[in-house]
Structure 1
Amino acid sequence: MIRNTPNSRTTDRGQAYTLEGFIAAFILLIAVLFAVQSVVITPSSGGAVDRTAQAQQQQQVQDALIVAQQENDLSRMLRNVELDGDDFEEFHNQSSGVQGVYSTATFANESTLGAILNQHLDAGQSYNVEVHYQERGDEAEDQNQNPIMLVNQGPPSSTAVTASYTVVLHANQPITSDEDGTLGDIGEADGYISDLEKDSGLYNVVEVRVIVW
């Protein structure tokens, strides 16, 4: 018969304490891992990721404007007007004033910018295309207050992103619709981009602004 000696009881207690320590450490490790997993998962629906997505969306729209300008599409689009005699009549293929000059489908057919936006924007996303131009003389205070809406899909949401590109128009540039004539022939007609300085060669400096949401 083997008797428990004081040394053997001490050894048993030491082993028990060691086992309890391992169990406690294991539980603590599981808790830490769970906490780390929670931290990783939470931001996927948070504002930080949304801001990153917005920045990527803005860069995508800016790139679309740059590509369109490289193909001379923005200038051509701004000069695509029709005349009634010597007076400005309307942008070519104008549809409804509520919807803007173009529907999104027509805009995609009429311009490189529209084709890129329709191809690369996600389903369900909307966009407006605005033309902000400079006024001359006393009208300069109203500059950009009433832009021409090439595409108008309604008021943007609070998460909308905006990108823009500036285009310089010259009076001797030809109109790109089926009409003959130049921008200088349009003159001061109501409803179109105004001529900043007569006989200067410079017609206007225009900002094409795209808002996506």
Structure 2
Amino acid sequence: MPPSEDRAQAHTLEAFAAAILIVAGLTFALQATAVTPLSASTSNQHLENQQRAVADDLLETSAANGDLEDALLRWDPVNETFTDGRSPSYFTAGGPPNAFGEALNATFGERRIAFNVHIRHGSDNGDETTLVDMGSPSDNAVTATRTVVLTDDANLTAPGHGNTTLRALSNGSEPGEFYAADAAVGAIYDRMEVRIVVWQL
């Protein structure tokens, strides 16, 4: 066989081998998992831990200075809403217009972190009322909780209802209803669990 034919066959085999390598590389690349900003990683885990710690600190501080209790009591019993008679009965664009809401907005909203706030109450905290709903949390959402004890003589903080106590609503001496029923014996009205869920937008 002439040397030119040998070289031609060698070039053909090299081209064939190169094509196989290219196809194999593309197949591997397509099957590989894409890395996105929301993929699990050490940095994302660190960010989630940081957000959880911030949410815990916010709840602790707000509970200590009374802002959290004030937010739980910002209820219009006649219209049965947190939002001064507007619909829906919860906030969707940020925190409520009080010190707790301002803390939520400053801590999370200004950093493009969405948050939901839910209040669990009743027997074994089996019932839930929404205070803030900014949407569906992502898979990377984190949660922080805090228990707040409301007493029978606690006054509502909603505009126009500041002289209404939980006891007065419970025994029917004031019109309307609180979102949580009196679930405790004695001077305690209920032990409410406040749950914050936060996630990066």
TM beyond 0.5:
yes
> 2:183 aligned with 1:208, yes or no?
no
Q: Which residue of 2 aligns with 1:40?
A: none
> 2:137 aligned with 1:156, yes or no?
yes
Letter in 1 for 2:166: L
Instruction: Provide the aligned length of Structure 1 versus Structure 2.
Output: 154
Any gaps of 5 or more consecutive residues in structure 1? 1-44
How far has the Cα of 1:50 moved from its partner? 1.1
Which protein shows a greater Rg?
Answer: 1
Aligned with residue 115 of structure 1, among 82, 102, 117 = 102
Q: 1:74 to 1:94 in 2, by over 3 A?
A: farther
Aligned with residue 54 of structure 1, among 40, 45, 48 = 48
Q: How far apart are the structure 2 equivalents of 1:159 and 1:184?
A: 41
SS in 2 for 1:116: helix
Q: 1:65 to 1:91 in 2, by over 3 A?
A: same
Query: What's the TM-score, normalizing by structure 1?
Result: 0.63
Any gaps of 5 or more consecutive residues in structure 2? 1-38
Alpha-carbon displacement from aligned partner over 1:135-156 (angstroms, at most 9, x marks no partner): 3xxxx6xx43x41111111221
Q: Which residue of 2 aligns with 1:76?
A: 70
Q: 1:197 to 1:165 in 2, by over 3 A?
A: closer
Q: 1:93 to 1:170 in 2, by over 3 A?
A: same
Q: How far apart are the structure 1 equivalents of 2:130 and 2:143?
A: 15
Q: 1:192 to 1:103 in 2, by over 3 A?
A: same
Q: How far apart are the structure 2 equivalents of 1:117 and 1:91?
A: 16
> Is the Cα–Cα contact under 8 Å of residues 163 and 210 in structure 1 kept in the other structure?
yes
How far has the Cα of 1:190 moved from its partner? 5.8
Q: Which residue of 1 aligns with 2:181?
A: 194
SS in 1 for 2:77: strand
